[in-house]
Each structure stands twice: as structure tokens, then as C-alpha cells.
Chains A and B, each alone.
Chain A
């Protein structure tokens, strides 16, 4: 075997190895991530529903077990996409009862700045009606939480129990 043979072999191997190496860098890039829509609602311990129990017929009450530092509801975004939370009740309250909610305790107002369909803010509550009120001004990020405080204003309310279904809905932002 002469030098030309070896040189040719070396050249062929270099070319072949180069081709082989070039074929191993195929890359696929995907940008699609499936969504998981989910959220968790917590109440203060020993609370299973939003409950108001006034001691007189005209009174403003915190939701039971709600305090100035303990919200009645905390939403947690347990999915993998930012979410908006809205609330409404199935039928409107009688005129003697006004249900108010705000994302912060500081959002309490004796007369709320919005009614029904509208957006609460840190300094503004909404009267909750059959129209959906948005709890969060901006969407709640993945794993983040959103608080909500609620109050009921009773004005010459007759004795008895009024039950409403509040719907908390979550929307992908």
C-alpha cells in the first residue's frame, strides 16, 4: 500500500464522519403547551359556605369567620394558565339585603362603586347580583392567589333565612 492509498482512506473517513456528524443535529422546536384549567377555593377553617348572621334587622355584617385580615375566600390558580375569577348569584337579593365583595378588606365601601357586571378594585367593592362581577383587576398568575372579602348590609330585613347560590367562575385570561 502506498501513501496515496492511506491519504485517500483518511480523506474518505473525514468526509464520511463529517456527514455522519452533520446528520445528528436535527432539532425540533415546539411551542405548544396543553392547558390545565383548575383553581382551588379555600374558606377559613370550619366554614363551608358564605354565611351572614345579623343580630338585628338593620346591620352590616362580615361573612362568618371573616376578619379584617382573614378573607372569606382565597382563590389559588392551580392550573398552568393565568385566570380571571368572576362571581354572581343565581337570583337577585331582596331590596333589604345587599351583598358586597371586594378583593381587599380596604375595598369596603358603605355604598359600592359598582353593581353586577363590573370589576372590583383594591378600593372599590361591587354589589353582587346575577351579573358577573370580576374579582381580579388583572389576571391571577399560575400558582398565585386572589383574596376576596364580602359583607352583607341588612336594612329592615324581615326575620328568616335567605339563601342564594353564588357562582365563582374562572376564565382563562
Chain B
């Protein structure tokens, strides 16, 4: 083999090597598990804004009239959902109704969190279409806990989404307020925080909006007000001792005037919240670590 041949062989090897490097594609991120999220941070496909594509509702095999009252689903809705689910996106106050009125934003609508069913319980509800029963009471909050580190003399906002549960055909009037729970527990029932609510109220000022809200039906179609954004404006006083404080959302009856207005409007389809049903833990908690 002479030198020229060797040069060509080496050149060929270099070309093969270069082509191999540039075509070394990594599989795009796919959500194969709801418990573990593996993210390749240098994958160019992952870094694009809309890696998950748009919502395809045809595959639910239900009438598309179910969604007719909702705004058009944003093309990056599923990417937004993933950012919330993986808690990379914690500031939810800027999320607009175009997003939070789409049922796919929430767990267990089109995706079964356990991975056992083709769809979540939301889509399954429409597919089942059980005419022997009707959904009377049901609501949810997403997310249910948020953790914030802040400093004294700070003011910030914390938001979550209050929504009617799947399959509800009634109008549920709710009054939204807050408490400082003395005891907070985790999912396993272990105490994660204790506080004196009277003392905490001296340092943490909270303003909640809206104060009253009418949760509207999700069946047989999603109504245009089936979900809303609830905003907590929180102020930390200058003399607040360092520590962790908890502010919790409570859902009770709406104000008298609002309740009367709604019952006149919806009569037998109106159900006031705060009496017949509720949760035995706050539906939403803000854990505030003051440094």
C-alpha cells in the first residue's frame, strides 16, 4: 500500500467518523413513566419549545362537541403540562385560561397516572357514558402543595387551578378563603409542619382572589368556566422570624348574595359547597420558608 492509498483510506475513515458523529441522534424524550422522568438536557429536540406536539382529541373516540365551549388548545399545551408535572415550572400565575381550561393540562384526563388504562378517568368517563347515574359533587385542585423560599419583607403571588371533577353535571358554588393550619401532614400522614396560627397571622398577610366562584359542569360537555386560577397574594412582614409557615386554601359556602344569585339561576342543578362535602386536608397548601 503506497502513501496515496493510505491517505485515501485515512480520509475515508475521517469522513465516516464525522458522519457518524453528526448522525448520532438521541431518541426524543417520551413520557413512558409518570413516576420517573429522564431528561437528556443536551438533546436539541428536547430543547425545542414544543417537544410533545399538540393535542390529538380524535384518538379519544368521543364526540368532539365535548370540547366545543373551550378555547382552542395551544399547540404547546402538552409541553406546558410536562413542565408543570416535573415541577420545572413553579410560577403558575402567568398561565392563561387558554391552558388551564384544557382538561389535558390536568393529571388523569387523557393519561392514566398508573399506566394501566389506555386513557385517564376523564376520557374514560365520556366513553363509558353511564346513563343510570349522574355526577353531582366533585372538584379538585392542581397542584395541591407548593414550596416557596423567600425573605422577610417580600411580597409574592402563588397560584393554583381549581376545577370541577370529571363527569359533574351540576353547578357548585364555592367560597374561597385561607387558613394557617396548626398541623400539616404529608401523604403518609406524617406531620411535616406545626405552627401557631395566631402568631403566623401576625407575620403573613394573605389576599385571595377570587373570593367566590361557580364551578360549572364537565359533563356532557366542558363548560367554559369549569376551571379557574386562584391567586394567593402573600406578604411577609419585616420582623418575621425565620422558619417555615403554611397557608392553606379552604373551600366553603359562597357569600349569601352570590349563593342566592346562583340558586335562582340554576335551581335544582345548583349545589352549594362547604356543607355536604369537603376534604379533610387543605386542598392547596403553600409552604413558605422564610430566611
Q: Show the binding face of A for B, using Cβ within 8 Å.
A: 1-3, 6-7, 9-10, 13-14, 17, 20-21, 23-45, 47-49, 70, 74, 76-81, 86, 90, 132, 141-143, 165-173
User: Distance (Å) between the CB of B262 and the closest chain A CB?
Assistant: 15
Q: Show the binding face of B for A, using Cβ within 8 Å.
A: 3, 6-7, 10-11, 13-14, 17-18, 21, 24, 26, 34-43, 84-87, 106-108, 112-114, 117, 120-122, 124-125, 130-145, 163, 165-168, 170, 187, 268, 271, 275-281, 283
Q: Given the known A-B contacts A38-B163, A70-B132, are A26 and B14 also in contact in the complex, defined by CB atoms under 8 Å?
A: no
Q: Among the listed B13, B14, B135, which residue makes an inter-chain contact with A40, where contact means beta carbons less than 8 Å apart? A: B135
- Extra 11 A-B pairs, beta carbons < 8 Å, given A34-B84, A44-B132, A142-B112: A21-B21, A29-B37, A33-B85, A34-B145, A37-B141, A38-B139, A41-B136, A48-B170, A76-B138, A78-B166, A141-B114
Q: Among the listed B36, B135, B142, B275, which residue makes an inter-chain contact with A42, where contact means beta carbons less than 8 Å apart? A: B135
CB pair A39–B165 under 8 Å, yes or no, is yes
User: Distance (Å) between the CB of A43 and the closest chain B CB?
Assistant: 5
Please name all residues of chain B whose beta carbon is closer than 8 Å to the beta carbon of A24 when the two chains form the complex.
Answer: 24, 26, 40, 42-43
Closest to A35 in B: B144
Question: Which of A26, A42, A48 gathers most chain B CB within 10 Å?
Answer: A42
CB pair B144–A37 under 8 Å, yes or no, is yes
Please name all residues of chain A whose beta carbon is closer than 8 Å to the beta carbon of B38 when the two chains form the complex.
Answer: 27-29
A158–B202 alpha-carbon span in the complex (Å): 51
A125–B273 alpha-carbon span in the complex (Å): 27
Q: When A and B form their complex, which 10 residue pairs have the shortest distance between CB atoms, in order from nearest? A: A38-B140, A40-B138, A34-B143, A80-B107, A143-B121, A36-B142, A42-B133, A40-B165, A169-B280, A41-B137
CB pair A28–B137 under 8 Å, yes or no, is no
A165–B274 alpha-carbon span in the complex (Å): 10
Q: Given the known A-B contacts A3-B3, A80-B108, are A37 and B42 also in contact in the complex, defined by CB atoms under 8 Å?
A: no
CB pair B275–A43 under 8 Å, yes or no, is no
CB pair A86–B280 under 8 Å, yes or no, is yes
CB pair A170–B17 under 8 Å, yes or no, is no
Closest to B138 in A: A40
Please name all residues of chain B whose beta carbon is closer than 8 Å to the beta carbon of A13 when the two chains form the complex.
Answer: 14, 17-18
A115–B14 alpha-carbon span in the complex (Å): 82
Please name all residues of chain B whose beta carbon is closer than 8 Å to the beta carbon of A6 when the two chains form the complex.
Answer: 6-7, 10-11
Q: Among the listed B140, B168, B170, which residue makes an inter-chain contact with A79, where contact means beta carbons less than 8 Å apart? A: B140
Please name all residues of chain B whose beta carbon is closer than 8 Å to the beta carbon of A44 when the two chains form the complex.
Answer: 132-133
Q: Is the interface of A mostly helix, strand, loop or mixed?
A: mixed
A70–B7 alpha-carbon span in the complex (Å): 84
A28–B29 alpha-carbon span in the complex (Å): 12
CB pair B279–A171 under 8 Å, yes or no, is yes
A89–B290 alpha-carbon span in the complex (Å): 39
CB pair A142–B113 under 8 Å, yes or no, is yes
Please name all residues of chain A whose beta carbon is closer than 8 Å to the beta carbon of B187 when the two chains form the complex.
Answer: 35, 81, 172-173
A27–B10 alpha-carbon span in the complex (Å): 35
CB pair A31–B36 under 8 Å, yes or no, is yes
Pairs A–B under 8 Å by Cβ, sample size 19: A10-B14, A20-B21, A21-B24, A23-B42, A27-B41, A34-B87, A34-B143, A36-B108, A36-B142, A38-B138, A42-B135, A43-B133, A45-B133, A78-B165, A80-B34, A143-B108, A143-B112, A143-B113, A172-B281
Please name all residues of chain B whose beta carbon is closer than 8 Å to the beta carbon of A48 when the two chains form the complex.
Answer: 136, 170, 268, 271
User: Distance (Å) between the CB of B147 and the closest chain A CB?
Assistant: 10
Please name all residues of chain A whose beta carbon is closer than 8 Å to the beta carbon of B39 when the two chains form the complex.
Answer: 27-28, 30
A132–B278 alpha-carbon span in the complex (Å): 12
Closest to B10 in A: A6
User: Distance (Å) between the CB of A169 and the closest chain B CB?
Assistant: 4
